[in-house]
């Protein structure tokens, strides 16, 4: 084992001959050996790291995963999986995010940098043991020390590199469905948004926009004039976001297929032939994204679509999903050759049944193909979790070559730690189940811990049918997630906001308008989290140190100033909330009406009508509210509201930038720093500093004092 010191808080232990995943960007100094802190190691079979937990310790992290925010009591397989049924018994979803923080009297973080399967048994097999197991002996383990979970997370975020910033328009509402298959259907969706006065920034194109599901092609019958059409839609205020899948269709004369084959750009089977498996297009080959040359080749293909006016993409099926291989099909078909009157014993019956059920995404198939990593032939199974990460990296690097100054929207389904530098993620094929709304809430801070900030779920649920209540409650939560997209599967009930009855449409419109009015705050908090290596969503206990906060799994801190308490249960017209301190409650029906109520610290039941979004403002904090518009490009934020709850003093830093270029990376941005200090009963001293060239001209202050009185002031911003 080699030991490296990355900083006085971050330590790397390198075992065997690990594969460089490029998750961590900080290189450390190699120093003398030392024992792996906190863990006992058993290397008789693979590697097994064990830590004895005390009863009071909470375990946070693991990014996109099932179960609670506190991961104790669960067993999780870190192995990117295309499994659309996210039921509580499942162990893996689409991402592999091997970072967790043990929080208690002894507090530390651990990141297992290993690109194959990792099992996290967190008090599942043995209540007091945290056991991390891998099948091999080549692994890098990072231990991060610090007093508090947030401090540890921020150390971790600083070693994995700055995250991805989408363009500002990507903070608008986005509408998707599998599929809007042709120009007419997309036009119709746009028309309904306009007619119903519902804001929206983007419409997604699912696989049917392609010709026979071939990446970087367009079905000419469905979209005969794609470039003109994309412009027509943009002029109306909607950007189009096409999907790109990992599998490349095997079809003679299809350029991507031909070039990939000719240059050996595809993953190879045991015999050195391009590995073949079927996905949507039928039989496909799979680009070897772990090879930098292949990444450049594939990444530059996005130009086919950027040349047509496209500014955003979603990369899908990149675990990679494999519907079947020749091997799997052959096995199933041979077993199926039984005669109707055969009396199958239970073993042969289940074998037959399972041979079809297990045909997709089988381990045997994942073990049957290879990558070329710096000339070495590496079995896919060993590096499985790097595939989606590197597909999206290919896109990110490609888009950077295509236009180095422009920010593109980029999403991925599969991911590994480090991918946050290139794009965001959506949380895959959830269902229109209330349980999945709650899961969505719980996942958000865990993903932030792993660097992923541009995140969100398929609002309303992907599989199954939503109803008016679920879409309303889910939308009321998703207005706070940076990625805010409503997406549904083929064959399910329509779930665009205008697909419901008048009252629901009205509630959804009001909720979306609130989102747009909150964009100045959401964007400011997003960009500050990115720049300052911070979390946008936090569990309560990452800021409040009282014992009860650690137990709260269904409320989140949002940015510097707010706490949200979503309704996630059917038929609920209210919920229990826990307040670690006095806070202001604003139940938003319509953001233009603001009635504030002070709730004392402690436990409360609050009524929340189906037409209300509860927002809590923390003590000595402030947030910003703008006005809605039909889309982000047409927001006018020259006049902003500053809503503050002041007992003593608060400072809010409002961040903004051009929202389209990468100039923010070199420090080009605007800041308005607002300081409000209570000086007497009705007297507040207000100081406004303007750094950079802010577009804000007027600030309308609403200062709520501890008696619940609102003091209004209008101030102009000096330039
Ligand atoms: C996958 C994606 C889903 C998409 C579908 C068809 O299931 O996760 O979002 O709609 O494929 O492309």
Q: What's the pLDDT tens digit per position in 238-289?
A: 999 999 999 999 999 999 999 999 999 999 999 999 999 999 999 999 999 9
Q: 126 Cβ partners below 8 Å, 6+ apart?
A: none
What's the per-residue H, E or C state across 148-166?
Answer: CHHHHHHHHHHHCCCCCCC
- The answer to whether 385 touches 80, Cβ cutoff 8 Å, is yes
Reference 676, options 717, 637, 718, 642; nearest CA is 642
Q: Which atom of ligand 1 is nearest to the CA of 458?
A: 9
Q: Whose CA is nearest to atom 4 of ligand 1?
A: 178
Mean pLDDT of the chain: 97
Q: Which atom of ligand 1 is nearest to the CA of 206?
A: 12
Per-residue pLDDT tens for 656-674?
A: 999 999 999 999 999 999 9
Q: Is the pTM of this model over 0.95?
A: yes
Q: Distance between CA 158 and CA 161 in Å, rounded?
A: 6
User: Is pLDDT of 355 > 90?
Assistant: no
Q: How far is the CA of 316 from the centre of ligand 1 (A)?
A: 7
Average pLDDT on 526-537 reads 98
Q: Which atom of ligand 1 is nearest to the CA of 176?
A: 10
Q: How far is the CA of 675 from the centre of ligand 1 (A)?
A: 47
Instruction: Report the CATH fold assignment for 2-160.
Output: Immunoglobulin-like (2.60.40)
Q: 489 Cβ partners below 8 Å, 6+ apart?
A: 178, 429, 462, 463, 464
φ, ψ for residue 32, nearest 5 deg: -60, 155
- The answer to whether 429 touches 489, Cβ cutoff 8 Å, is yes
First to last CA, the chain: 58
Q: Which atom of ligand 1 is nearest to the CA of 428?
A: 8
Q: Whose CA is nearest to atom 3 of ligand 1?
A: 429
Q: Whose CA is nearest to atom 7 of ligand 1?
A: 429
User: Is pLDDT of 99 > 90?
Assistant: yes
Instruction: Report the CATH fold assignment for 533-716.
Output: Immunoglobulin-like (2.60.40)
φ, ψ for residue 243, nearest 5 deg: -90, 150
User: Is pLDDT of 33 > 90?
Assistant: no
Query: What pLDDT score was predicted for residue 138?
Result: 98
Average pLDDT on 146-174 reads 98
Domain spans of the chain, in order of start = 2-160, 168-249+280-322+375-524, 533-716
Residue among 489, 490, 492 whose CB has most ligand 1 atoms within 8 A, to mutate: 489
Residue among 85, 205, 316, 490 whose CB has most ligand 1 atoms within 8 A, to mutate: 316
Which range has the worst mean pLDDT, 14-23, 105-114, 416-425, 687-696?
687-696
Q: How far is the CA of 388 from the centre of ligand 1 (A)?
A: 14
Q: How far is the CA of 490 from the centre of ligand 1 (A)?
A: 9
Average pLDDT on 13-37 reads 95
**Longest Cα separation, the chain:** 91
Average pLDDT on 40-44 reads 98
Q: Which residues line ligand 1 (CB under 6 A)?
A: 178, 206-207, 243, 316, 413, 428-429, 487
Q: Exposure string (b/e) for 575-593, b if CB count within 10 Å is 16 or more?
A: bebbbbeebbbbbbbbbee
Place of tokens 């018994």: 89
Q: Whose CA is nearest to atom 10 of ligand 1?
A: 178
Query: What pLDDT score was predicted for residue 336?
Result: 81
Q: How far is the CA of 361 from the centre of ligand 1 (A)?
A: 15
Q: How far is the CA of 88 from the centre of ligand 1 (A)?
A: 21
Can you spell out the DSSP letters for 519-535?
HHHHHHHHHHHHHHT--
Q: How far is the CA of 429 from the centre of ligand 1 (A)?
A: 7
Q: Which pLDDT band, with edges at 50, 70 and 90, does 678 fall under?
A: very high
In the three-class reduction of DSSP (H, G, I as helix; E, B as strand; rest coil), residue 47 is classed as strand
Q: Distance between CA 397 and CA 404 in Å, rounded?
A: 9
In the three-class reduction of DSSP (H, G, I as helix; E, B as strand; rest coil), residue 283 is classed as strand
Tokens read off for 718: 């000096």
User: Is pLDDT of 719 > 80?
Assistant: no
Query: What pLDDT score was predicted for residue 41?
Result: 98
Q: How far is the CA of 399 from the centre of ligand 1 (A)?
A: 22
Q: Indicate the CATH number for domain 168-249+280-322+375-524.
A: 3.20.20.80
Average pLDDT on 112-141 reads 98
Average pLDDT on 355-379 reads 95
Tokens read off for 548: 């009860």
Task: Report how far apart, in Å, the C-alpha atoms of 267 and of each of 247, 276, 631, 687 are.
Answer: 11, 9, 42, 60
Residue among 245, 313, 317, 457 whose CB has most ligand 1 atoms within 8 A, to mutate: 317
* Residues catalogued as catalytic: 316, 319, 429
Q: Do 2-160 and 168-249+280-322+375-524 agree at the fold level? A: no
Query: What pLDDT score was predicted for residue 277?
Result: 98
Q: Which pLDDT band, with edges at 50, 70 and 90, does 357 fall under?
A: confident
Q: Distance between CA 660 and CA 498 in Å, rounded?
A: 30
In the three-class reduction of DSSP (H, G, I as helix; E, B as strand; rest coil), residue 139 is classed as strand
Residue among 83, 178, 413 whose CB has most ligand 1 atoms within 8 A, to mutate: 178
Q: Which atom of ligand 1 is nearest to the CA of 178?
A: 10
Per-residue pLDDT tens for 456-494?
A: 999 999 999 999 999 999 999 999 999 999 999 999 999
Query: What pLDDT score was predicted for residue 335?
Result: 84
Q: Whose CA is nearest to atom 5 of ligand 1?
A: 178
Q: Which pLDDT band, with edges at 50, 70 and 90, does 294 fall under?
A: very high
Share of the chain above pLDDT 70, in %: 100
Q: Which pLDDT band, with edges at 50, 70 and 90, does 352 fall under?
A: confident
Can you spell out the DSSP letters for 632-701?
GGG---SEEEEEEE-SSEEEEEEEE--SSBSGGGGT--EEEEEEEEEEETTEEEEEEEEES-----EEEE
């Amino acid at each position: 084992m080699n030991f490296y010191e990355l900083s006085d808080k971050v330590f790397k232990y390198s075992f065997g001959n690990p594969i460089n995943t490029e998750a961590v960007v900080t290189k450390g100094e190699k120093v003398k050996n030392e024992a792996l802190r906190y863990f006992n190691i058993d290397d008789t079979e693979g590697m097994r790291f064990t830590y004895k937990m005390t009863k009071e310790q909470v375990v946070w992290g693991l990014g996109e995963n099932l179960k609670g925010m506190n991961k104790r009591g669960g067993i999780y397989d870190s192995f990117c999986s295309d499994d659309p049924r996210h039921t509580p018994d499942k162990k893996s979803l689409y991402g592999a995010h091997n970072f967790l923080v043990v929080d208690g009297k002894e507090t530390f973080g651990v990141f297992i940098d290993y690109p194959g399967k990792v099992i996290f048994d967190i008090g599942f097999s043995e209540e007091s043991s945290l056991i991390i197991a891998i099948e091999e002996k080549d692994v890098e383990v990072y231990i991060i020390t610090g007093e508090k979970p947030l401090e540890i997370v921020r150390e971790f975020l600083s070693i994995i590199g700055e995250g991805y910033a989408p363009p500002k328009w990507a903070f608008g509402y986005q509408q998707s469905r599998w599929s809007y298959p042709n120009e007419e259907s997309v036009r119709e969706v746009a028309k309904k948004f306009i007619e119903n006065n519902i804001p929206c920034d983007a419409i997604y194109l699912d696989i049917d926009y392609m010709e026979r599901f071939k990446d970087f092609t367009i079905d000419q019958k469905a979209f005969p004039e794609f470039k003109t059409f994309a412009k027509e839609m943009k002029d109306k205020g909607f950007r189009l976001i096409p999907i790109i899948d990992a599998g490349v269709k095997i079809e003679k004369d299809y350029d991507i297929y031909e070039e990939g084959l000719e240059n050996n750009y595809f993953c190879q089977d045991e015999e050195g032939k391009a590995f073949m498996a079927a996905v949507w297009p039928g039989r496909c080959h799979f680009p070897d994204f772990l090879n930098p040359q292949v990444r450049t080749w594939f990444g530059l293909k996005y130009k086919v679509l950027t040349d047509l006016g496209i500014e955003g993409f979603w990369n899908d099926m990149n675990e990679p999903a494999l519907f079947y291989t020749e091997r799997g099909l052959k096995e199933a078909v041979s077993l199926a050759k039984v005669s109707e009157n055969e009396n199958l014993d239970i073993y042969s019956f289940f074998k037959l049944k399972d041979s079809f059920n297990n045909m997709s995404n089988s381990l045997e198939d994942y073990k049957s193909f290879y990558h070329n990593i710096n000339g070495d032939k590496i079995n896919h199974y060993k590096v499985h979790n790097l595939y989606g990460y590197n597909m999206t990296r290919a896109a990110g690097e490609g888009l950077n070559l295509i236009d180095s100054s422009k920010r593109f929207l980029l999403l991925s389904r599969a991911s590994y730690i480090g991918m946050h530098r290139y794009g965001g993620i959506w949380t895959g094929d959830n269902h229109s189940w209330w349980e999945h709304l709650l899961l969505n809430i719980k996942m958000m801070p865990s993903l932030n811990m792993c660097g992923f900030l541009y995140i969100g779920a398929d609002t309303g649920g992907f599989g199954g049918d939503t109803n008016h209540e679920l879409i309303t409650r889910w939308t009321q939560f998703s207005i706070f997630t940076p990625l805010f997209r409503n997406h549904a599967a083929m064959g399910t009930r329509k779930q665009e906001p205008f697909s419901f009855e008048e009252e629901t449409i009205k509630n959804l419109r009001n909720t979306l308008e609130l989102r747009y009015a909150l964009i100045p705050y959401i964007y400011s908090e997003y960009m500050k989290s990115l720049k300052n290596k911070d979390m946008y969503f936090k569990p309560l206990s990452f800021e409040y140190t009282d014992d009860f906060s650690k137990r709260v799994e269904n409320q989140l801190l949002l940015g510097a100033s707010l706490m949200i308490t979503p309704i996630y249960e059917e038929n609920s017209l209210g919920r229990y909330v826990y307040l670690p301190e006095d806070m202001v409650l604003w139940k938003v029906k319509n953001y233009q009406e603001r009635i504030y109520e002070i709730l004392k610290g402690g436990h409360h039941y609050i009524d929340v009508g189906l037409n209300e979004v509860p927002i809590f403002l923390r003590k000595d904090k402030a947030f910003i509210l703008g006005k809605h518009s039909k889309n982000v490009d047409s927001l006018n934020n020259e006049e902003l509201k500053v809503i503050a709850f002041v007992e003593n003093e608060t400072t809010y830093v409002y961040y903004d930038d051009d929202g389209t270029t990468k100039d923010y990376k070199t420090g080009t941005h605007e800041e308005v720093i607002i300081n409000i200090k209570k000086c007497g009963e009705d007297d507040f001293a207000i100081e406004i500093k303007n750094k950079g060239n802010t577009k804000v001209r007027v600030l309308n202050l609403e200062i709520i004092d501890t008696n619940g009185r609102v003091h209004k002031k209008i101030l102009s911003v000096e330039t």
